[in-house]
């Protein structure tokens, strides 16, 4: 079992930046991919970005060029650097961990508690 703890959310003005962190502990040898999802008010949870153990990344079209996912394997921590934030980025952001397969599919079975990001003037 993997435990995930997120931090770094908050209130920021449009155009501003935030960095989210997600520290993993427990059976981290069971996972080979970590990612960030968000859930905006009244909407379903959506994938934001993923990063594999080898460093391969994927992004939702809505955040390409603005968000960067990275990882520090020594600290078992994944980051999401969010720049040029827009009001529509307002959501609860969740860290996830799991496994990816040769088909490109994911199975995320560990989740953090979520951290609120609010973009507003």
Nearest 5 degrees, angle CA 61-CA 119-CA 16?
80
Give the span between the Cα atoms of 50 and 55, in whole angstroms: 9
The yes-or-no verdict on residue 1 having pLDDT over 90 is: no
pLDDT at 25: 94
Give me the chain's average pLDDT, please. 95
The yes-or-no verdict on residue 105 having pLDDT over 90 is: no
Give CA torsion, residues 26, 55, 45, 110, to 10 deg.
Answer: -10
Kindly state the average pLDDT of the residues 54-77: 94
Q: Extract the tokens encoding 101.
A: 């397969």
Kindly state the average pLDDT of the residues 72-90: 95
The yes-or-no verdict on residue 28 having pLDDT over 90 is: no
The yes-or-no verdict on residue 63 having pLDDT over 90 is: yes
Closest listed residue to residue 22, CA positions, set 71, 89, 56: 71
Kindly state the average pLDDT of the residues 16-34: 94
């Amino acid at each position: 079992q993997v435990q995930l703890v997120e931090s770094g959310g908050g209130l920021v003005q449009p155009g501003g930046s935030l960095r989210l962190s997600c520290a993993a502990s427990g059976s981290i040898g069971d996972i080979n991919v970590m990612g960030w999802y968000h859930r905006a008010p009244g909407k379903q949870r959506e994938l934001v970005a993923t990063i594999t153990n080898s460093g391969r990344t994927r992004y939702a079209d809505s955040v390409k060029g603005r968000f960067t996912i990275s990882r520090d394997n020594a600290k078992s921590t994944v980051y999401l650097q969010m720049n040029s934030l827009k009001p529509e980025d307002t959501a609860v952001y969740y860290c996830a961990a799991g496994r990816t397969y040769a088909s490109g599919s994911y199975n995320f079975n560990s989740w953090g508690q979520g951290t609120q990001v609010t973009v507003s003037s």
